[in-house]
Amino acid sequence: MKFIIPSILLTFVIVFSIQSESFAQKKKETIIIKTSAQCEMCEKRIEDAVLSVKGVSAADLNVKTSDLKVVFNNTKINADAIRQVVSKLGYDADSVKADHDAYHKLPTCCQKPGHHH
């Protein structure tokens, strides 16, 4: 009898751990957003802004491809809201166009050649 109680308790702890781990994985989501970023200044500006959003745990912009990889908690923010953050900085974010006024306030090196706003 002494061994049954610890075994039941251990089984409960293992099952609970597995359930909470799978629940945590469902909240975490990763997306790739195609941006109009041009240089390292763009990279820093976008990453800093996206990382400051509640629910975002990682943001990494590849300047060569202009792809922004974002890891976030989908119970706190969604992909469209993240795209809006990027747009409000003056950059395209997938099909969400850059905010006109913000785009024109970007340094010239951050404005995409042939990009009319």
Q: Is the pLDDT at 108 greater than 70, yes or no?
A: yes
Q: Is the pLDDT at 3 greater than 60, yes or no?
A: no
Q: How do residues 29-52 score in pLDDT, each as one tens digit?
A: 999 999 999 999 999 999 999 999
Distance CA 21, CA 27 (A): 10
Q: Is the pLDDT at 7 greater than 70, yes or no?
A: no
pLDDT at 9: 46
One DSSP character per residue, 72-91 reads EETTT--HHHHHHHHHHTT-
What integer is the mean pLDDT of 56-81? 97
Pick from 95, 32, 23, 81: which is nearest to 52 by CA?
81
- The structural domains of the chain, ordered by start, are 27-110 (3.30.70.100)
List Cβ neighbours of 44 (8 Å cut-off, separation of 6 or more): none
